[in-house]
Amino acid sequence: VAIAAAAIAAGLADCVVAYRGCRQGEVGRFGRGVGYGGAGGPEISGYELGGAAMGPYGAFAAPHKYALRAQRMLDEHGIGQATMRAVAMAAYHHAQANPAAVMRGRTLSAEQYDESRWIAEPYHLYDCCQESDAAAAILLVSAERARSLRQDPVYVLAAGQSGEYRSGAGGENTPSLATAGYSSLAKRLYADAGVTVADVDAFQVYDNFTAGVVMGLVEMGVCSYADADDVLTVENLVAPDGVAPLNTSGGNFAEAYILGMGHHLEAVRQLRGTSANQVPGAAVSAAMGGPMTSLTSGVLYGTEAVL
């Protein structure tokens, strides 16, 4: 999205489509272990897990890697498991109103979450995103042209990518393990857009695992680690009345896993007033990529009223 917006702003393009399509079972992502050499490969897909530094110790898949970061968050900041659970429950709650959500009709209670099997502690089954065959796309044009099209225009207020200090270090040797990777990115996005976290009406945060979403919301300024357990509750994360409506389409967890592209669609829906879980009067929405990856990304979208 950022590259498309930059190309249009520079006069290099008039109309750009940003898209993602997934057929993950077919190309071998699902259940793949270290050393997989199929289509895409671990380096291209972002799943280089450290090879010999981790494989011999049983870290064969993404939940193993990101469980280390989750446990560090719990230990360093005293976050309760219920806060991670709230992220998953909010996604399933929103999916029930979304006709396109794969988890529509499958609710998630606190008891179901707590009783679900461990995948890699501290991750239960419902702390982990699914695999999907799905696709999503966004069409970008200039602001002037957008005003003449059928749909109400939604504007890219700010977009960018960022990484933490030495975030690309292999073998989990990054200096800051318990981070979403948003601490620098969020500040830049807010400054570029001329808004603050208080102006953001809905948060679409890439939910690969619940812990990364918790870290992301903290680093975006929704709360601090000191009050995260009190702020990040199911009631506060659901539309229409929550203080920080989160993944209002169901997100990766409960709508479909399209490597975060669905989050951008939902951010736009919120500002057009067409979301299945509409936040009244939404004028600014965030779509954030990552988290916990070496390179993260984000876009702040806004209506014409906030330009």
| pLDDT higher than 60, residue 24 | yes
Instruction: Say what percent of the chain tops pLDDT 70.
Output: 91
- CA separation for the pair 211, 222 (Å, rounded): 15
Say whether 206 is catalytic.
yes
Per-residue pLDDT tens digits for 168-227: 887 778 889 999 999 999 999 999 999 999 999 999 999 999 999 999 999 999 999 999
Write down the pTM of the prediction: 0.93
Per-residue pLDDT tens digits for 135-158: 999 999 999 999 999 999 999 999
Active-site choice (92, 123, 190, 257): 257
> Average per-residue pLDDT in the chain?
91
Which residue did the predictor score with more confidence, 95 or 30? Answer: 95
Predicted local distance difference test score (pLDDT) of residue 49: 53
Buried b (16+ CB within 10 A) or exposed e, 89-101: bbbbbbbbbbeeb
Element (H, E) at 71: helix 62-77
Say whether 66 is catalytic.
no
Which candidate, 262, 252, 304, places its Cα nearest to that of 287? 262
- CA separation for the pair 199, 265 (Å, rounded): 19
Domains of the chain as residue ranges with CATH: 61-129+154-306 (3.40.47.10)
Active-site choice (123, 126, 182, 206): 206
Per-residue pLDDT tens digits for 224-275: 999 999 999 999 999 999 999 999 999 999 999 999 999 999 999 999 999 9
Instruction: Say what percent of the chain tops pLDDT 90.
Output: 79
